[in-house]
Amino acid sequence: MLLALLAIALARFIAIEQSNDILVTRSWAKADAAHTISSMVRGNARRTLEYFTTDDPAQRKVDAERIARNLASIQLAQDVLDKYVTTSEGHALIAKLRQQNDAFILANDAIIKALAGNQRDVALDIARRDALPTLDVMQSEALELVALQRAIVEKSGAQTRDDIAFAKMLMSGIGAAAVLLGIGSVACGQHRPVGAYRRTGRIA
């Protein structure tokens, strides 16, 4: 019974470890990536508007470099999501995000080119028509992805709690059974005939 208890306990703890790995390593990584995308999209919207708050080419270059860093962070977050996302809904959201992000990159490049050519009105039209609406769509999709990952994290956490509760119940049940069997064995030993002990050499 003790061996069975140890074997079952080991099996349950392995299952709990796997659930915890899914919760901590995968689910939280996906949630963090989704939050990163949402934050970087907001940053890109702000930097895009800042293009038009100055006529200083150096400052516009700084804004463009910040957008480029945000885009790099978005790419890293998308790589994490590609690695860990398994649901069809999640894959669909990632595909839409990537499509919108590619559209923003094209619009951003066009804005930079227009501003470099002193075509402020053209750049502003591109920002209004393409860049900012694209970022709005990305923000909405990123929030959907955040909500999806939050639901997955909550489900993983509930599964881990259920595994722990089941392991406790199983170990308690087997432990109680072992105790009862031990008590029964002792009680049976106390009622064995004296002759049986003599035959086994336990009583001289």
The DSSP result for 68-133, as a single string, is HHHHHHHHHHHHHHHHH--SHHHHHHHHHHHHHHHHHHHHHHHHHHHHHTT-HHHHHHHIIIIIHH
Banded pLDDT at 41 (limits 50, 70, 90): very high
pLDDT for 180 = 74
* pLDDT exceeds 60 at position 34: yes
The more confident residue out of 63 and 200 is 63
Q: What is the pLDDT of residues 72-97, one digit of tens each?
A: 999 999 999 988 888 888 888 899 99
pLDDT for 185 = 66
